[in-house]
Amino acid sequence: MPDPIRLYLDFASPYSYFMLAPLRQLAQAHGRELELRPILLWAVFKQQGVENPLGKPARRGYFLEDVVRSAAFFGAPFRIPEPLQISAHLAGRLFHARTAAAPEAGPVLATEIFERFFARGEDITKPEVLAALPCLAALPADTVREMLDGAIGRERLAHAIEKACADGVIGVPFVTLDGESFFGADRLPQIAWRLEQQRAAAAARL
């Protein structure tokens, strides 16, 4: 079996939000598992000594223009969050803790987190917003609190950040596919092209 397609994402990243659904569809079409790795991009940048890119007015201005255009391009409901930049550590802990016990829950959980933040404008830095996600409704309240604050989520998120640095992540979304790296939602056509190449090569060997 081929290795999973790995997607490094940050729940505060609109481009990660835009990429998730089409990359899932692409992985399914090619019979590939998609492994989601939420990280905190600011923590990766801190380890790499990289300054906040949106600290520059020109970059911030372009970003604000481009995310609106990109949302329309991908057909994703979107509103610019306020504040624009947050630390999505609670969402990251929640994801890692939940998927430690139920890996299959990851895609729906990630989708609901993104939708709350970017489509509905809700504040995912607040525990009560995350605890109210529909996919967690059947879980006891104390279980959800432990996922948000407990050691498992913290440790797994920290490990994902360390792994991202080791894998050379320079931004999000960042995909690793069979030893190759692809940065940005605009690399989806190249990922599709590479997967088609692999499909053709496999068919030729039959």
Report pLDDT for 206.
84
Report pLDDT for 131.
98
Domain count for the chain, please give it. 1
Report pLDDT for 1.
79
Report pLDDT for 124.
98
Residue 63: give the domain boundaries.
5-205
Q: What is the 3-state secondary structure (H, E, C) of the chain?
A: CCCCEEEEECCCCHHHHHHHHHHHHHHHHCCCCEEEEECCHHHHHHHHCCCCHHHCHHHHHHHHHHHHHHHHHHCCCCCCCCCCCCCCHHHHHHHHHHHHHCHHHHHHHHHHHHHHHHHCCCCCCCHHHHHCCHHHCCCCHHHHHHHHHCHHHHHHHHHHHHHHHHCCCCCCCEEEECCEEEECHHHHHHHHHHHHHHHHHHHHHC
> What is the mean pLDDT of each successive set of 10 residues along the chain, which is 206 residues long?
95 98 98 98 97 95 98 98 96 98 98 98 98 98 98 98 97 97 98 96 90
The CATH number of whichever domain residue 183 belongs to comes to 3.40.30.10
